[in-house]
Structure 1
């Protein structure tokens, strides 16, 4: 009879374990962007590369070195890796609840009680036992909890990859800023040299009465203005180096040694092809994938809350071997026990139902946050493409502007030396040229920064290395 009861309990628990609660699922229409294609024009570039190999296609050894250094030791990445290990441990912990728990005990005592009898006796007691318990996952509550923790682990891994992309973008932006400041510093330095020659020539003319003190003052003020601009460019260079030191973990000496190996100019613009389907781009964004995992975790919480309102079944068993010695009396024996425990929530003043409703509300919030993030992602990509297309047009126009002002500067300088143009005319043409040149570099820097921003906006791809186990 006992064995039949045991078999019946096992059969019932096996059958009920297949009756898992249904987890909520969002509609497919809730998960995709409303627009089937991009409304902004896809940006173009002279050179295009595959998105997965974009950084290598820059063909800049200095940038490659800085990128690799930042990926090797970075607090942001180390923090993300630690969160992955924590989430993985929690997920494995949840899986363990699907199996029985077994424990062992061993006790030993030696006692004497003079209040009970006279003469008193010393008593020795000892026992060794095993006990086991197993909560049957009747409704899939444990598996739902495991699913939620696995979703959390997946979210942490996605965040790690996102951190890689963010760190790479941060290094690239600092590097681009550095090269831009260096290029502008070289232009300003060349301009300063030209202004100093003009100042010296004006002073020579003034000494023989061919130039007025006003002309000397103007030339000197022009030189001083250029000195101030050069100091500003140097400040930008030093600040960019500090930023690279912070993000790469290299010493400032190492960073300066690296950047000294490359040309003091901006990298050539490099683009990539953006797929025409927003849904494909959105699904590879890390923040969208994190929100998707949050939806899974919220659905698992709903399942856990539902299971809490249903009956639960646990099995418990124990066996013990004991021994007792008192004077000449010696006792040995075994004890064991086994049985199921059924728990049924009867009255809890609506607490469990309220918790289920709260879990359902959190699931709906997670779906809404996913939808909101999708809209933000589409907007970010669209706006970045609009800015990039505008930047491409402005760069092209500025190149024409620089070429025109350069011709004007050359002609005015020749006329001034010949005495047919004033120093004031020369300074005006020089200022126009310098303004156009610095604007050109600023726009080219902005163009590269927008490509980097678009790279991040569409999800980015950094060569993914295995996460530390």
Structure 2
């Protein structure tokens, strides 16, 4: 399967190279997601786009501006970038252990001893150069370097994942705002209709053509419509607060941007999901991070194994010194030393063996975590496709329901004005229509949210801008 071709090199290529110790490596069977094809139906959309350019395919300039602002200044992305820099510095420091280390020293003292006669002032000074080199006999340093490079790759993947997650959050907040905005307009129109009916009923009641019960009913209906309007306004305000927090823009700037766009939900734009689960799974950031963690755990096993083996170090030192007493040189000369040091662990009460066992257990944990994430990833994609299919069907059915209730209300209003229908029947029709209209908007918002969730589930990524590089 393609998963084996794409992830086995990722997990195993560096494990066996440049290391004298054998490092554990997963087998193809352990990497297999045990899913040869999707069981759920592929989602259907009126418009399809390439996944890499999905956000641009929404054709919503306001959303893109909000997305860009969120990508430029966000603490979450800054934290991920700082972790990359830390991991890169650690990976670079590991390479230094493959080379000798040199250190210089210089010292000088001036002393006077009046206990001896005659008293004299002694001056002494020395300069020295020390060198040491621990030879990487068994590949322990290279194993440690491999682990740090795996950590760097994981942190880099986290940064890309954070960008995609941020884009998804901004999109969901934006869609929520537009949904509440559309529902507010529907509620406002409905409230205006209720107020007109209420005023008309009051006029009828004054001349005895309508009962106080009808007036009370419409008064309650108007109050209910006002409460619903306040609810929609609150939803808009909360969504704006979310966009402010995500983008880092001032609230006034966000409101100006939102006012530039159309008060409507974006049209659902879909993308094709790869037919093979293995192709999708290998794209997900959490799977790639877990793969790097397996590599890092394998490297830790190598380091633990090397700790139980002999180590060889070379040391050398050169020192030049001089001692003056009473203005004349008493001692002057050069000293040097050079030689190897061989260390062999003989007795440590089983500590090093326990450390190796612990490292091997951590490797098994990392591999089991990888396998669990693969299964969870397949499940998430399947569930999102099922929800999208169901959302599309519910939206279609609800649209028919809205059209039917609208015709019923129009007919009911005409009959009520002609005196052929009761006010209670009219209010029932009105509430049915309003409830179905708001439910339709909620379903359309849910449909867009499910597309965003599927985008994340298949490893979606916010594309790098032209000339932009990762931290």
- Asked if residue 389 in structure 1 is aligned to residue 389 in structure 2, the reply is yes
Report the alpha carbon displacement of residue 331 of structure 1 after superposing the two structures with TM.
2.9
- Asked if residue 343 in structure 1 is aligned to residue 346 in structure 2, the reply is no
Which ranges of structure 2 fall in alignment gaps of 5 or more residues?
1-16
- Asked if residue 33 in structure 1 is aligned to residue 33 in structure 2, the reply is yes
In structure 1, what is the Cα distance between the partners aligned to 2:203 and 2:453? 53
CA deviation vs aligned residue, 1:90-136 (integer Å, no higher than 9, x gap): 11111100000001111111112233x31122111111111110000
In structure 2, what is the Cα distance between the partners aligned to 1:344 and 1:388? 63
For 1:184, the equivalent position in structure 2 comes to 183
The DSSP-based 3-state class of the residue aligned with 1:221 is helix
In structure 1, what is the Cα distance between the partners aligned to 2:441 and 2:352? 64
Paired residue total: 451
CA deviation vs aligned residue, 1:411-460 (integer Å, no higher than 9, x gap): 11111111111111111111111111001000000000000000011111
In structure 2, what is the Cα distance between the partners aligned to 1:467 and 1:112? 62
In structure 1, what is the Cα distance between the partners aligned to 2:32 and 2:329? 80
In structure 1, what is the Cα distance between the partners aligned to 2:162 and 2:49? 22
For 1:401, the equivalent position in structure 2 comes to 401
For 2:7, the equivalent position in structure 1 comes to none
Report the alpha carbon displacement of residue 264 of structure 1 after superposing the two structures with TM.
1.2
In structure 2, what is the Cα distance between the partners aligned to 1:232 and 1:292? 46
- State how 1:405-444 maps to structure 2 within 5 Å: 405-444=405-444
Report the alpha carbon displacement of residue 329 of structure 1 after superposing the two structures with TM.
3.8
For 2:8, the equivalent position in structure 1 comes to none
In structure 2, what is the Cα distance between the partners aligned to 1:374 and 1:200? 63
In structure 1, what is the Cα distance between the partners aligned to 2:428 and 2:359? 70
For 2:332, the equivalent position in structure 1 comes to 332
Asked whether the equivalents of residues 18 and 138 of structure 1 are also in contact (C-alpha less than 8 Å), the reply is: no
For 1:357, the equivalent position in structure 2 comes to 357
For 1:466, the equivalent position in structure 2 comes to 469
For 2:59, the equivalent position in structure 1 comes to 59
In structure 2, what is the Cα distance between the partners aligned to 1:119 and 1:331? 19
Report the alpha carbon displacement of residue 360 of structure 1 after superposing the two structures with TM.
0.6
CA deviation vs aligned residue, 1:320-343 (integer Å, no higher than 9, x gap): 111111123443211111111000
In structure 1, what is the Cα distance between the partners aligned to 2:373 and 2:35? 15
For 2:111, the equivalent position in structure 1 comes to 111
Asked whether the equivalents of residues 132 and 317 of structure 1 are also in contact (C-alpha less than 8 Å), the reply is: yes
Report the aligned-residue RMSD. 1.1
Report the alpha carbon displacement of residue 19 of structure 1 after superposing the two structures with TM.
6.5
For 1:455, the equivalent position in structure 2 comes to 455
For 2:94, the equivalent position in structure 1 comes to 94
For 1:289, the equivalent position in structure 2 comes to 288
CA change 1:391–1:80 in 2 (3 A) is same
- State how 1:16-165 maps to structure 2 within 5 Å: 20-115=20-115, 117-165=116-164
In structure 1, what is the Cα distance between the partners aligned to 2:138 and 2:119? 57
Report the alpha carbon displacement of residue 45 of structure 1 after superposing the two structures with TM.
0.5
Asked whether the equivalents of residues 47 and 268 of structure 2 are also in contact (C-alpha less than 8 Å), the reply is: yes
Q: TM-score, normalised by structure 2?
A: 0.94
In structure 1, what is the Cα distance between the partners aligned to 2:202 and 2:377? 61
For 2:169, the equivalent position in structure 1 comes to 170
For 1:14, the equivalent position in structure 2 comes to none
In structure 1, what is the Cα distance between the partners aligned to 2:175 and 2:32? 35
Which ranges of structure 1 fall in alignment gaps of 5 or more residues?
1-16
The DSSP-based 3-state class of the residue aligned with 2:260 is coil
Report the alpha carbon displacement of residue 271 of structure 1 after superposing the two structures with TM.
0.7
Report the alpha carbon displacement of residue 385 of structure 1 after superposing the two structures with TM.
0.7
Asked whether the equivalents of residues 18 and 142 of structure 2 are also in contact (C-alpha less than 8 Å), the reply is: no
CA change 1:170–1:18 in 2 (3 A) is closer
The DSSP-based 3-state class of the residue aligned with 2:37 is coil
The DSSP-based 3-state class of the residue aligned with 1:260 is helix
